[in-house]
Amino acid sequence: MNFTGKKSSDLLLLMLVYGAAAISVAILVFIIGYILVNGAPHLKPSFFSVTYNSVNVSVFPAMVNTIIMVVIALSIAVPFGVGAAIYLVEYAKKTNRLVSVIRITAETLVGIPSIVFGLFGLLFFVTYLQWGISLMAGSFTLAIMVLPLVMRSTEESLKSVPDSYREGSYALGAGRLRTIYRIILPTAVSGIVAGIILATGRIIGETAALLYTSGTVAQIPDNVFGSGRTMALHVWALSSEGFHTNEAFATAVVLLIVVVGINALSFYTAKKLSKR
């Protein structure tokens, strides 16, 4: 056996892996640094005014609208996604045709372009249900978009829990529901939270679907059935107008800070829950 050739191939593979990782990190650092350099100098108090106008180009209304839409969308997608995953892993039989149908449907929905979801939201929520161009219509559209993501990530997390945990719980007299609540979910919580983080990132960064459902009004609506833009739409609107490019970069900086904050809070919550 040629051990020298094997060691050389292993070394080459290791170098390729480290090189790919270094390039990925370098690209990420460059993008973040570019946004910070171009946007951070333009962060000023007037940029966070409660009311938007053509002078201050305030990002505050977009921040509030983004938070509202994230809360509503996750409040819909997380319970249904986690519940569906629990059914698929813990209750449904492997030979059940419904299981394969649900999984194929979820995988199909993940691959559908967001603009298609936007058209569906326009036809169903905005027109058929007569919700109008509103935060509610946009939130429900986003909930449908991220539902497969939450469901699939939760399903994989539940599958990763060893069967010995279930068997030990059953042996101690715990029922299936109590086993799921007290043993399986706390063990899989890190994977579930990771899926929620990915879903939150997609909600925050979505623009195409919201153009048809939530609109681009740069104000905080009186209620969830009013129109409003998110921070991603705020960046798109400012950059497309061409008059406030600097403020668009500043909004991108705020968007980065919000995403990092949400991720940190989610990981902290997952760590606390896993210790229970």
Query: pLDDT (tens digit, 9 = 90+) per residue, 110-158?
Result: 888 899 999 999 999 999 999 999 999 999 999 999 999 999 889 989 9
Question: How high is the pLDDT of residue 167?
Answer: 84
Percent of the chain at pLDDT above 70?
A: 95
Backbone torsions φ then ψ of 48, nearest 5 degrees: -115, 25
Q: What is the mean pLDDT of the chain?
A: 87
Question: How high is the pLDDT of residue 3?
Answer: 54
Model-level pTM? Answer: 0.86
Give the pair of three-digit tokens for residue 108: 């199909």
* Listed residue (37, 62, 67) closest to 48, CA to CA: 62
- Going by pLDDT thresholds of 50, 70 and 90, the confidence category of residue 21 is very high
Question: Which residue has 């229970």 as its token pair?
Answer: 276
